[in-house]
A and B are shown apart, each in its own frame.
Chain A
Amino acid sequence: MENRLKRLPQTMNEAQADMLSRELSEFGEGAYIDDNTVRRIQSSVMRKAGIKMGKTDRTKVRKGRIALIAAAAALMMTSVTAGAAVIFGKRDSVEKYLGDSAVQNFDTVDPTKEETVTKVKDGDYSMTIDSVVRMAGRVYLVGVTVTGETDAAKNYINSIDRNDRFNVMIMKQGTETMISDGQGLNVKRSDGFPLPEDKSVDEYGSISSMTDFIDPVQTAATAVAYLPDGTVIKQDFDLEAELYGTYDTTVPYTDKDGRVLNVTPIGMIFDFYAENENSNDIDYLEFADGSRDDPDTGLGFGTMQSNESPRTEKTAPGYTLFWKTEDIGSLTHIHFFGSDYYRQ
């Protein structure tokens, strides 16, 4: 029996592997290798496969950024409506619902913003303003990354205390407006965003993210970081990014009886509700490529019903909000409460 089990790897086919996928996957839980090793392996694989690698700089920061972008998105959602705050309060893990897809979609939509890098302090470390995206025509999400390759830079970055802050100021008609956690307009060090607790999880430094509403006519902004040694780093960035283009406002999906399902994209999350409906019964979403997701199996899919409607236009007491980390541009069809709703 033992020998037979040991021989499984050599005789097992795909169907048998699928049958034991839970057991095989479980072995990887908690597996960890450092980013340097991942990069070396990645480089070796791509070389052997005859593929030119993408930008490794992006790769090295993305891994650590995922949770932070997700956390920032959560902040954004709490800023959007009180109802959304309740919803996120029900989540045990924001990352579980947003996952990598949020970040990757940001990259896809707004790649140019990741390239903005300002070198400071004799090249020891650098600060990057990235993921500057406009959401729903009014909300921006900003990621700030400090990275360093040298030992001195790494030591310095890891010495930055969680209580140190990043501040982002928006220039509007000559007046600086600081983005902070939905409050505080005075420019002072204590009003910014604290660094994440896991800032030193990798050797590439610290990452901070922040969000807020910004007037959609804004076209320019300056990010300012106050670092522990007194250094003040400023970087201008552009707020022209059009994340959703024509989908930056509520998109109606209608059924054959003319009922409307309003879908609102907020970042890579979209929510929708049916006016005068009182159900949280969604069957599936269908995307342009023909694929379907349903709430039972779709990762990153959540539902919540609240009796406290966060929307003034809501007329029924029941309110259903769904969210999914997909680009609404690819969402063609919603099967909801027994009816088919199509984008017009």
Chain B
Amino acid sequence: MEEKKLLRLLEQDPAKGLEAAVREYAAYVYKIAHTRLSDVCRKEDIEEAVSDIFVKFWQSGQRSGFRIRSVKAYLAVIAERHCIDVFRKACRTSDSVDYDTLENLISDGSPYSDIELADAIKRLGEPDSIILIRRFFFGQRSEDIGRELGMKTNTVNKRVSRGLEKLRKMLEEDM
């Protein structure tokens, strides 16, 4: 379903809209959750997380009257936030988890804003912008990125490394 129509449906008939949203984007949200949580959660827990994400999406959307532009982008942010919470909880009960994945919770004191960062990522152009979003926003492994985008893992790693450097320079020049 076209996003515009889905948003209209969510506004006019939230129940039907929610049902349609799940049908439309369950696979997308599942992939996000699976990427983040497959190391620490069972399949049933991932499904549970996915359903919680949609409920949060719905509750949040109802508050804002679903005045959003991109359902997918909105869902992605909600999904990532929720998955990080689930991940943290799972890590507390598991000794085998690598806490490095939680680096994103540590501030590095960067002087630029998120909007500047998002703009710089966009200006990187594809495929680098896509690779960086997959690697850092969604936490996807380089080998999985490579497989899905038809690149060697080494190529992905090089692009990540160069992309980060370019991003840093762009942001410094902007300041």
Contact = CB atoms under 8 A, between A and B. Distances in A.
Contact of A30 (B8, B148, B168): B148
Nearest to A63: B23
Given A2-B103, A28-B28, A53-B19, A21 B70 contact: yes
A182 to B, nearest CB: 30
Interface in A1-34: 1-21, 23-28, 30-33
Given A23-B121, A27-B138, A8 B114 contact: yes
B175 interface: no
A42 B54 CA distance: 9
Interface string A58-76: 0100010000000000000
B27 A28 contact: yes
B151 interface: no
A32 B27 contact: yes
Task: Say which size band chain B's interface belongs to.
Answer: 35 or more
Which of the listed residues A12, A17, A42, A100 has the most CB atoms from chain B within 10 Å of its own CB? A17
A44 B48 contact: yes
Contacts of B72: 21, 24-25, 28
Contact of A24 (B106, B115, B137): B137
A332 B115 CA distance: 40
A3 B103 contact: yes
A41 interface: yes
User: From DSSP, what is the main secondary structure of chain B's interface residues?
Assistant: helix
A121 interface: no
A267 interface: no
A42 B25 CA distance: 11
Contacts of B26: 33, 37-38, 41-42
B70 A18 contact: yes
Contacts of A13: 114
Contacts, number: 192
A299 interface: yes
A17 B76 contact: yes
Interface in B1-28: 1-2, 4-5, 8, 15-16, 18-19, 22-28
Contacts of A46: 15, 18-19, 22
A25 B167 CA distance: 21
A83 interface: no
A301 to B, nearest CB: 11
B15 A51 contact: yes
B108 A31 contact: no
Given A20-B133, A41-B22, A51-B15, A2 B164 contact: yes
A54 interface: yes
A20 B28 contact: no
Contacts of B45: none
A299 B5 CA distance: 10
B55 A31 contact: no
B115 A15 contact: yes
A12 B18 contact: no
Interface in A219-258: none
B137 A5 contact: yes
A3 B139 CA distance: 12
A311 interface: no
A31 B18 CA distance: 19
B118 interface: yes
Contacts of A6: 103-104, 136-137, 139
Nearest to B72: A25
A222 to B, nearest CB: 32
29 contacts: A2-B164, A3-B103, A3-B106, A3-B107, A3-B108, A4-B110, A5-B132, A5-B137, A8-B104, A11-B114, A12-B77, A17-B73, A19-B119, A20-B122, A23-B121, A24-B73, A26-B130, A31-B27, A33-B30, A37-B30, A41-B47, A42-B19, A44-B47, A44-B48, A45-B18, A45-B54, A45-B55, A49-B59, A101-B1
Given A15-B115, A17-B76, A20-B129, 13 more contacts: A3-B103, A3-B108, A8-B117, A9-B137, A10-B105, A16-B114, A28-B25, A37-B47, A42-B22, A44-B48, A45-B54, A49-B58, A104-B1
